[in-house]
Amino acid sequence: MKKEALEEKLNHKLRKRFGDSVRVSVEGRIIRVSGHMSRWEDIVEACSMCVVKQPGVHVVNDVVLDGVQMPSMRVPSLRDEELEGAKPDVLIIGGGISGCSIARELMKWKLGVLLVDKEADLAVQASGRNDGEVHPGVDLGRGTLKQKYVVRGNRMFDQVCEDLDVPFQRCGQYVGFTDKIVYPFIWLYAWQRKHICKVTDTQILSGKELHRREPNLNPEFQFALYNPSAGCVCPYGLTIAYGENAVSNGAKVSLNTVVLGMKVSKRRIQSVKTNRGTIYPKLVINAAGVFAEDVAEMAGDRFFSIHPRKGTNSILDKKTGSLVKGISSIKKLTHNAAHTKGGGIVHTAHDNLLVGPNAIETYEKENFATEQSSIDAVFEKQKMTSEKLSKKDIITYFTGVRPATFEEDFVIEKGRKTKNLIHCAGIQSPGLTTAPAVAVDVAEMAVHELKQSQKVEVNREFQPKRKGIPQVKNLPEEERDRLIQENPDYGVIVCRCEEISKGEILDALNSPIPVATVDGIKKRVRPGMGRCQGGFCMPLVTRIISEHQNIPVEQVRKSGENSIICYGKTKGVQ
């Protein structure tokens, strides 16, 4: 469709819905929406109405939200010259699953790679705040990048997790239906997914077989769509493992490092200003999550927009783990909006149950507050999946913010105006699943770009294997006894809920990417993840960090620089 005709069509559609408050202009492969509106939900709706299903055509949101001062990005207070003058071949912006997997993939080549993230640890935002499901891809039709990469990525997980020593379980996904009348439609859907979309494990289970496998699911389920390839992994554990393996192979990671601006000349990024000095990269990879659009703007290459979407998950006590053995949810065929769902029930890699997430549009990119209404809505829906679910079993909950584009697809391409730039943006669900496959392609794009101006050789010394910290409680008795005899710290139990030893905590503090905070240790070896949520072990972990780092207890932080645990001189913490 020609530019003028498309503009007229979209503006007509918007006027019917919103009057003259917004308008559209078409600029090549950009559909720019501008104007003023008083509700964020209306802005999202207006921009979504302008999506056209053409590859590479993106909606950019320039609509002003009246009466709202958009929150500024949180930045660390740290200021030093640690990175001043650094000249990496590749600068990766973002320490989530995308950035870390790309860094590791790039180390298969002889390249200087620097990854920066503004947080105090890896996987602090979306990559550490999701359900950990490894999706089969059955809910995605052909033609999207999501579908292309989810099928490839899912098949890579066994090898990736074996190499990185990360627990991974293929527990299967069940989508239950209570209406027998829809069976013919679901049968056709399953056939299309299996034979056309190449999600080859797709099958339909009878109600009898479903209840034999999962006896605690809704007894009214007549049949279920089943994919045995679905699984569960610890999302932040996998992200950290990717990062550690990259560092072990020569990459550098700089945390508490925020990108503040870029100098662009002759369609190339010349330098990147950070709070820790100015960097002069040959190539930049934008994997900045909810801030990917901001990075694109700095680079003079903004051709897509992110509309953040909040989702809340609840974690249940391990005693409920036997309630659901796989990943289960209910599907009702209604005309409700696609993103008002209540998620599902996930049997996690650590044998808890996770319930959620929901989906709420927000303009706040870093608002991780959890609302009671979100928990209530998720449980109301998922009690239709398993009526035995109870909010009384919740031991903790968390909220994440997903970086959705209006096209609801990934942006994986070279810069359009800026040459030495690659975008890996819009990576929301199933971004965890797609990461291994996306990383391969982005790394190939990066190497191809660098080869235009330099020689790039294969790194024949690349070591794909990473040995994780030993999980003492899971070791055979003889091996555990031997380990304790070699190092008595493995016999000192710090976290009784999760049976975590002092030796494991010290291993985390000496790991390739050590983060000497309570949450940093918690992510790596799980003290504080049990029912008491650190009520007993947090003081002990704090003391161990204090002694290891040779700092006063009051200087130990829970997570970031402002998460103070205790004030003033502290004596007698045992």
Q: Is the dihedral angle over the CA atoms 205, 208, 211, 213 positive or is it negative?
A: negative
Q: Of 135, 307, 347, 423, which is the active-site residue?
A: 135
DSSP output for 55-120: TT-EEEEEEEETT--PPPPP-------TTTT---SEEEE--SHHHHHHHHHHTTBS--EEEE-SSS
Query: E strand or H helix at 154, and its extent?
Result: helix 145-164
3-class DSSP string for 201-235: CCEEEEHHHHHHHCCCCCCCCCEEEEECCCEEECH
DSSP output for 226-286: EETT-EEE-HHHHHHHHHHHHHHTT-EEE-S--EEEEEEETTEEEEEEETTEEE--SEEEE
Residue 351: strand, helix, or coil: coil
| Cα of 151 vs its chain's centroid, Å | 18
292: which DSSP letter?
A: H
Beta-strand ranges (E) seen in 429-557 are 493-495, 500-501
CA 335/CA 338 separation, integer angstroms: 8
Instruction: List beta partners, residue 167.
Output: none
Backbone angles phi, psi at 70, to 5 degrees: -60, 135
Is the CB of residue 134 less than 8 Å from the CB of residue 232?
A: yes
Residue carrying structure tokens 């560092």 = 247
CB atoms under 10 Å from CB of 437, counted, come to 20
CA 440/CA 16 separation, integer angstroms: 45
Q: Which amino acid is at 454?
A: Q
First to last CA, the chain: 71
Q: Is 195 a catalytic residue?
A: no
Instruction: List beta partners, residue 201.
Output: none
Angle in degrees, CA 177, 182, 187, rounded to 5 = 90
Q: How distant, in Å, are the alpha carbons of 173, 392, 394, 479 from that of 319?
A: 21, 12, 11, 27
CA 225/CA 188 separation, integer angstroms: 11
- Annotated active-site positions, please? 135
